[in-house]
């Protein structure tokens, strides 16, 4: 039977990312909801997951990964989300910007830019793809800014320049957040800020902003993926709203696999 074969071929393994990612908790829940107790979800990283995916695709072998859009892997490979009839991974997600309490008073210029920041999946995808093709992260972000001056001008419209004030951004080294954080960091630098960027685990990213150790982050996936982190930390930080709409998470496989639903793993 087809589904049994898939499990055996894959050694009942779903290739995951960093253990702190929301998609990992969602996948644990999927294992429960769909009664996949034979399956293991391995923790690794976005980079290791995409390498495993690339290797599998090259050999047309089966693989199941925890996947999301925006992500360059959908441009590089023919992939599909497995249907999720129980809705464990939720519907469309938005990526939100959060600021520490007091940022608006302390750095009104940066606050305004962060509040105005909004772009599309295609925008983020351009930076991600260029990085994937070998361009340095900062250079890829700079190229996007140079090609999208009008968009950036809307975010910075009426915002005064500053004189080397320090601002700290935190993020997680997911490819999507590497793209967004590098880009907004450069926009702030162009306004005169001295920007630091620290990669952290997801829970420490939220904690840093909620405790005021970091000033802001642009990497909160809602309503579902980071719901537990917003419950823990959201009260002591400020939600500046969505910077990107229509993101999605789930289990992802190459098109050539003949399964279509998470239920096919049972
Ligand atoms: N992601 C990408 C993150 C949010 C951004 C889907 C891997 C997560 O699962 O927490």
ipTM of the modeled complex: 0.96
Q: Hey, which of 29, 249, 251, 252 would you mutate to test ligand 1's pocket, going by the most ligand atoms within 8 Å of its Cβ?
A: 249
Distance from the alpha carbon of residue 225 to the mean position of ligand 1, in angstroms = 7
Q: What is the pLDDT of residue 108?
A: 98
Structure-block tokens of residue 27? 């996948």
The answer on 187 and 134 residing in a single domain is yes
Beta carbons within 10 angstroms of residue 43's beta carbon: 16
Q: Is the CB of 25 under 6 A from ligand 1?
A: no
Q: Is the CB of 110 under 6 A from ligand 1?
A: no
Q: Measured in whole angstroms, how far is the alpha carbon of residue 3 from the centre of its chain?
A: 30
Q: What is the pLDDT of residue 1?
A: 43
Torsion of CA 55, 58, 59, 64, to 10 degrees: 60
Q: Is the CB of 207 under 6 A from ligand 1?
A: no
The CATH number of the domain holding residue 197 is: 3.10.105.10
Tally of domains in the chain: 2
The answer on 41 and 70 residing in a single domain is yes
Distance from the alpha carbon of residue 4 to the mean position of ligand 1, in angstroms = 29
148-149-152 Cα angle (round to 5)? 90
The answer on 212 and 97 residing in a single domain is yes
Separation of alpha carbons 247 and 237, rounded Å = 22
The answer on 184 and 103 residing in a single domain is yes
The answer on 238 and 117 residing in a single domain is yes
Distance from the alpha carbon of residue 157 to the mean position of ligand 1, in angstroms = 31
The answer on 213 and 135 residing in a single domain is yes
Structure-block tokens of residue 15? 């290739």
What is the secondary structure of 69-98 as a DSSP string?
A: ES-THHHHS-EEEPB-TT-TT-S-EEEEEE
Q: Please list, in sequence order, all residues whose beta carbon lies within 8 angstroms of the beta carbon of residue 35, skipping any fewer than 6 positions away.
A: 266
Domain enclosing residue 11, as ranges = 2-91+249-265
Q: What is the pLDDT of residue 218?
A: 98
Separation of alpha carbons 205 and 194, rounded Å = 19
The CATH number of the domain holding residue 56 is: 3.40.190.100
Q: Do 78 and 254 touch, CB atoms closer than 8 A? A: yes
pTM of the predicted structure, to 2 decimals:
0.95
The answer on 210 and 261 residing in a single domain is no
Query: What pairs with residue 167 in β-bridges?
Result: 195
The answer on 131 and 35 residing in a single domain is no
The answer on 111 and 17 residing in a single domain is no
Q: What is the pLDDT of residue 183?
A: 98
Q: What is the pLDDT of residue 243?
A: 98
Separation of alpha carbons 83 and 251, rounded Å = 8
Q: Is the CB of 181 under 6 A from ligand 1?
A: no
- Give the residue from 117, 143, 118 showing the smallest Cα distance to 129: 143
The answer on 52 and 132 residing in a single domain is no
Pairing type for strands 79-81 and 237-254 reads antiparallel
Q: Give me the residue label for tokens 């047309």.
A: 60
The answer on 173 and 98 residing in a single domain is yes
Q: What is the pLDDT along the chain (266 residues), one digit of tens a residue?
A: 445 589 999 999 999 999 999 999 999 999 999 999 999 999 999 999 999 999 999 999 999 999 999 999 999 999 999 999 999 999 999 999 999 999 999 999 999 999 999 999 999 999 999 999 999 999 999 999 999 999 999 999 999 999 999 999 999 999 999 999 999 999 999 999 999 999 999 999 999 999 999 999 999 999 999 999 999 999 999 999 999 999 999 999 999 999 999 999 99
The answer on 222 and 120 residing in a single domain is yes
Torsion sign, CA atoms 10, 11, 17, 22: positive
């Amino acid at each position: 039977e087809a589904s049994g074969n898939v499990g055996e071929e894959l050694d009942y393994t779903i290739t995951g990312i960093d253990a702190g990612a929301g998609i990992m908790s969602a996948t644990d829940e999927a294992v429960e909801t769909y009664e996949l107790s034979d399956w293991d979800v391995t923790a690794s990283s976005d980079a290791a997951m995409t390498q495993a995916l690339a290797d599998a695709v090259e050999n047309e072998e089966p693989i199941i990964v925890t996947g999301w859009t925006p992500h360059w892997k959908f441009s590089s490979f023919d992939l599909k989300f497995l249907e999720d009839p129980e809705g464990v991974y939720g519907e469309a997600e938005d990526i939100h910007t959060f600021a520490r309490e007091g940022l608006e008073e302390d750095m009104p210029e940066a606050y305004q830019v962060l509040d105005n920041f909004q772009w599309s999946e295609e925008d983020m995808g351009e930076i991600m793809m260029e990085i994937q093709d070998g361009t340095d992260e900062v250079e890829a972000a700079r190229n996007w800014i140079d090609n999208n001056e009008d968009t950036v001008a809307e975010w910075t419209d009426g915002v005064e320049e500053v004189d080397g004030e320090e601002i700290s951004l935190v993020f997680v080294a997911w490819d999507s957040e590497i793209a967004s954080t590098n880009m907004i960091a450069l926009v702030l630098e162009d306004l005169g800020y001295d920007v630091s960027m620290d990669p952290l685990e997801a829970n420490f990213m939220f904690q840093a902003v909620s405790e005021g150790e970091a000033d802001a982050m642009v990497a909160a996936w809602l309503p579902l993926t980071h719901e537990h982190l917003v419950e823990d930390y959201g009260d002591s930080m400020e939600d500046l709203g969505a910077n990107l709409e229509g993101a999605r998470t789930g289990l992802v496989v190459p098109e050539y696999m003949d399964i279509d639903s998470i239920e096919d793993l049972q």
